């Protein structure tokens, strides 16, 4: 019986050592964080990593920020980073920024780095736009890049637009400003007009950032797009004219071939008619002979006219020549 009790005590001791972090409990007690050993054991049974909750709790206690262990444990079970949230709250408190645990936890669960957001709120961040190309009214392309200095608005981190929206809106502002300029020279001479136009538009509305300044980093001249468009239009008109001319030539050639075919058909008809005429002419003697044979046609006998003097002279000469 005594042996059974001894083994039971050993088993309980091993279970306590397995589920109860003695070092962490001592650190919490020495830091002024009142927590019972049974709570630590139950946290382990619920699948909570005790270190991930107790150490941020100790950090908040040292910084003078009251934290609820229930909220910390719930945030951990929700998949949040408790240590990052507490670090953000401590940093915001030191910087004089109002940031509660629920707000910081919501930002963390939204997938944003709440600690970096607090840092960017204290120290503004500079983001660079890609190369933006736009065309002035004179047809000359202008290329520009800008550096945008932004400060995080912690209140708008959840649901507010991010850096991509800021860059897109600044690029749109550059295109609008350059496109409304009468000449590219005015943009090159005064690039600040781009910054002023962007700042007037309030492009940071409904975003997680406040735009502090927009600085044009580089402005360059690109292609003469207006001339190129005119060249392309002229080439297109040329091709249309060539197509129309080719169409007319094809139609004329087709008409010529049709006329040739008609002429050949007419020649064939003429040859056919001539053959019919010759065939008809060939039947005339046959018809006359047939008429003579049947008695439908005859020769009428009449009185022969008296010969003239010239005829008598001719007959005499012919008779003399025959006698000789």
Residue 169: its pLDDT value, please? 85
Beta strands in the chain (DSSP E): 125-128, 132-135, 140-152, 209-224
Residue 323's pLDDT is 55
Label residue 86 exposed, middle or buried (CB < 10 Å: 0-12, 13-18, 19+).
buried
Spatial distance between the Cα atoms of 201 and 166, rounded to a whole number of angstroms: 12
Is 0.75 surpassed by the pTM of this model? no
**pLDDT score recorded for residue 93:** 84
Cβ partners under 8 Å of residue 179, min gap 6: 134, 135, 136, 137
pLDDT of 316 reads: 61
The structural architecture, per CATH, of the domain 125-227 is: 2-Layer Sandwich (3.30)
pLDDT value of position 116: 83
**Mean pLDDT, the chain, as a whole number?**
78
- Hey, where are the domains in the chain? 18-122, 125-227
Tokens of 244: 């129309």
Residues in the chain with pLDDT values less than 50: none
Quote the pLDDT of residue 309: 57
Quote the CA–CA distance of 186 and 59 in Å, as a whole number. Answer: 57
pLDDT on residue 19: 58
CA distance between the termini of the chain? 196
Strands 125-128, 132-135: pairing is: unpaired
């Amino acid at each position: 019986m005594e042996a059974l009790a001894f083994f039971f005590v050993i088993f309980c001791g091993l279970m306590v050592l397995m589920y109860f972090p003695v070092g962490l409990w001592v650190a919490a007690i020495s830091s002024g964080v009142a927590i019972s050993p049974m709570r630590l054991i139950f946290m382990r049974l619920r699948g909570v990593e005790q270190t991930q909750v107790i150490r941020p709790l100790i950090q908040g206690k040292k910084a003078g920020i009251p934290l609820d262990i229930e909220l910390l444990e719930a945030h951990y079970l929700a998949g949040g980073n408790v240590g990052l949230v507490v670090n953000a709250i401590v940093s915001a408190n030191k910087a004089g920024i109002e940031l509660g645990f629920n707000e910081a936890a919501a930002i963390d669960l939204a997938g944003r780095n709440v600690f970096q957001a607090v840092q960017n709120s204290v120290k503004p961040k500079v983001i660079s736009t890609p190369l933006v190309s736009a065309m002035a009214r004179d047809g000359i392309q202008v290329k520009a890049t800008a550096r945008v200095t932004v400060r995080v608005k912690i209140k708008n981190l959840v649901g507010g637009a991010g850096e991509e929206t800021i860059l897109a809106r600044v690029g749109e502002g550059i295109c609008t400003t350059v496109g409304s300029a009468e000449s590219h020279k005015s943009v090159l001479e005064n690039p600040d007009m781009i910054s002023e136009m962007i700042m007037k538009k309030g492009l940071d509305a409904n975003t997680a950032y406040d735009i502090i300044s927009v600085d044009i980093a580089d402005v360059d001249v690109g292609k003469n797009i207006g001339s190129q468009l005119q060249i392309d239009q002229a080439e297109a008109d040329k091709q249309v004219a060539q197509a129309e001319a080719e169409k007319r030539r094809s139609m004329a050639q087709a008409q010529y071939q049709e006329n040739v075919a008609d002429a050949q058909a007419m020649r064939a008809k003429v040859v056919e008619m001539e053959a019919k005429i010759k065939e008809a002419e060939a039947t005339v003697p046959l018809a006359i002979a047939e008429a003579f044979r049947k008695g439908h046609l005859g020769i009428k006998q009449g009185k022969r006219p008296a010969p003239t003097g010239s005829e008598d002279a001719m007959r005499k000469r012919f008779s003399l020549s025959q006698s000789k």
